[in-house]
Structure 1
């Protein structure tokens, strides 16, 4: 493996035999700018599709999961399986999640994790990269697009618009898990999620502050009108901040993030991305 400039480390020095072909799944560890090891998976496009169009080979999706998720969680794998009908998929576990190293900063330094995954996707030869994030990952893809400009299109699903939101019971539980020592123990042993004990200093760019910086990159904001974590003022705030440069899908009856994203919705997201990226 050759190590390029900062932010462009493609893969670890450990190379499984099946890495030699992009027709087979690959699993490896990426190294971020700040030295964190990120468990990552590449799934090639499905050989079976619905007949409307064959899967794209130059397009790739990079999936950013929600808080307490990881690359092996069934709800994350379901998203990957749905999107491989359209194109290959890179998925990964954020720092502090699953088998990745480090501790989560709940949306701050996770931008570096996504940047490493996008760089790997480019290194594999894909000309068009679409980042698709859910909940915490939805905020990360927005911030990555604003700060790094590494994607050809961005899809943010169930993202918060602003930090420190405690207006729903689920978000109050999340804040307890993140801010309290006993909550972080629950995160570690109950959810396989290691949470950094230090608060943000400085406070990172918020999703709503990031959105105006994303244009002209195509941006899709997806949110359920039955989301128990973030009510619909969050996606509307994000869409307003885009000044007409983003599409907003408010999905009737949909709940929160990967668990609530139907196969039909994921198919529509795949179609949108294939049409908009590049």
Structure 2
């Protein structure tokens, strides 16, 4: 089926007027589409893996939208301005785009910070047919507060955060915004739409307890997949993640 699917570059605006860069992998007719949301400091290509996953989804009859959150990758905006509220709005605008393009069923999937965003959006936006989060923080404020490199802000008003990609700078407002979001509580609002939670057993960035709390809070139908020995990036295990995701899609959203 992949021969009928093609890549297309596009841009679309969020509610703050920033242009977001996207890649659409789609067939001749709009049917079911998967919107993929990258993690903190990530980009739509996912180091190339997101592109390969989209093409595998095409083999199974699903279209895919990859996009860069504002301030990330090729999208407009400054990284220091990012917020979870902004990410949630970017996901909402990607859903708007897919509906405008004629897609009938929209699945949102996000990794890490993008996973928190899809949980928060999916809980309130009933236009989404299903939600999947990978390595997602259940309580983002608690997690990111623990990653502060230093307690006080820099003189320029920016706060350094240390992580796997080194140190990045965000505004104090990033933490204030996180306080209003609880991804686990939002997960409880997704039912009766399906939810898939995927997490690495050896994740030392977002502990496994986050996935367990999200799953516990959610109503049915819900599925949890713990990848044995996998770290936060699912290094060497991403095909297991894809397999769990593909099986979940084919079970709840057959094409």
Q: TM-score band (shorter)?
A: 0.7 to 0.9
- What does residue range 212-231 of structure 1 map to in structure 2 within 5 Å? 212-231=188-207
The number of equivalent residue pairs is: 242
What is the alpha-carbon root mean square deviation over aligned residues?
A: 3.3
Contact kept? 2:192, 2:219, Cα under 8 Å: no
Q: Identify the match of residue 199 of structure 1 among 163, 166, 174.
A: 174
Structure 2: runs of 5 or more not aligned: none
Using the TM superposition, name which of 89-98 and 115-124 deviates more: 115-124
In 1, distance between residues paired with 2:59 and 2:191? 28
In 2, distance between residues paired with 1:149 and 1:36? 24
Deviation of 1:250 (Å): 1.2
TM-score normalised by length of structure 2: 0.81
Q: Which residue of 2 aligns with 1:122?
A: 99
In 2, distance between residues paired with 1:133 and 1:227? 16
- Structure 2 residue 18 is matched with structure 1 residue 36: yes
Deviation of 1:44 (Å): 2.5
Contact kept? 2:197, 2:211, Cα under 8 Å: yes
Using the TM superposition, name which of 149-158 and 255-264 deviates more: 255-264
Select the structure that is richer in strand.
2
Contact kept? 2:227, 2:237, Cα under 8 Å: no
Q: Identify the match of residue 247 of structure 1 among 211, 223, 233.
A: 223
- Structure 2 residue 112 is matched with structure 1 residue 135: yes
Contact kept? 1:70, 1:76, Cα under 8 Å: no
Deviation of 1:136 (Å): 0.5
Q: Identify the match of residue 209 of structure 1 among 185, 199, 207.
A: 185
Decide whether aligned partners of structure 1 residues 164 and 197 sit closer, same or farther in structure 2, where only a CA change above 3 A counts: closer
Deviation of 1:141 (Å): 0.7
In 1, distance between residues paired with 2:211 and 2:224? 7
In 2, distance between residues paired with 1:179 and 1:129? 42
TM-score normalised by length of structure 1: 0.75
Using the TM superposition, name which of 200-209 and 36-45 deviates more: 200-209
- Structure 2 residue 67 is matched with structure 1 residue 85: no
Deviation of 1:263 (Å): 2.0
Using the TM superposition, name which of 198-207 and 108-117 deviates more: 198-207
In 2, distance between residues paired with 1:100 and 1:251? 32
Q: Which residue of 1 aligns with 2:211?
A: 235
SS in structure 1 opposite 2:149? helix
Decide whether aligned partners of structure 1 residues 106 and 178 sit closer, same or farther in structure 2, where only a CA change above 3 A counts: farther
Deviation of 1:124 (Å): 2.3
Structure 1: runs of 5 or more not aligned: 1-21, 46-55
SS in structure 1 opposite 2:223? strand
